Structure 1
């Protein structure tokens, strides 16, 4: 197995960072690998905002629900779903931008950003850096949009913290591979037993790291999924031009 595959298999989220900068050269390289990721119809929908200013990171940390590692780490990347560039293309040839009326635009932006961010994650971890994705920026999207001066047809999708790990957190167990891999068709019959097995594994893991109050995967997941936990996403997407109507 090659080194990169082994690094990817060892991934873990890091929430404690050293007070140590990352060079501009490394940041530039991380941005370049993000931009090198594939995008749907070469639309190049991801845009990345590099944030190093301490005060701005502290504001993001608060808006994301109180996540101190955002301000602690030297670099925060904001991944923006960007159809503003497409709007400029539409205006240039005197055509109407229609795709943002559709759910497809939101899916395209999310998929393309996922591909770009994974490139950054792999590259950063190959350099010995630690990362943690931040979905919490969608908790207060209006404030994030204002803070970063985002124009219409753009939306803050996810953030990424990057820094030098203060410690290597314990790797979180994944579901059995049989729950992840299905051959030729989706096999739902095997899942209940596999989920039961995973709940037992997670219960042990959570006790080991002092978070036994979360109980297991099922209980933790449904603490979130019994509600729309970021209710401001839909109205702010519409306000930004992503109607999601068809």
Structure 2
């Protein structure tokens, strides 16, 4: 299926893209150069998939800080109990919990907070709060937080000198196009890859994909030649074909 984007999404494709994370949903294309230049990976949003973080540290054994308040004791208790009731011989949920405990220890930290909202509660924090917790000036960002990303795009721009690369999932693109355009124009890192999430629909009147995965790079060599999807891309929904993206003139 074909999708179209406004021309402000014009990309300079990185020549050293690698796929990080699991196959299909949860994997992203990023620049190998940015991975190598990073000394900290900050992941905003993990749910039950930290394959991106695992792959990243296999390539560069950096400190990892992941933020997600939805993953807590009740989350795992429910997963294990429901999985056992459905099939007592299926140990998937329990193995997943063990994988979580094995990865998030030592210099891999999981902070049980949602990022984006400046609230009175103790399960939210701002993006500024996240950055204030580290002195690193070589941060790679992975952001998939179901719409809260729009609350701090301006803070990403304000701290771009500390960011080596970023992959960000943008939700409800149709109602945030102006914010996205402003962000792309202001952010100094190159937009080096775009992938449309095929779990989300395409708007009928102009073929606009509603959820996008954007990759930005500081250190990669780039080329004006590109084809979307990239040969390393995979559809998020493996049962449907990937969206073929073109840009409006």
TM-score (norm 2): 0.25
Greater relative contact order, per chain length (Cα 8 Å cut-off, separation 6+) = 2
| Bigger helix fraction | 1
Structure with the larger strand share: 2
Structure with larger Rg: 1
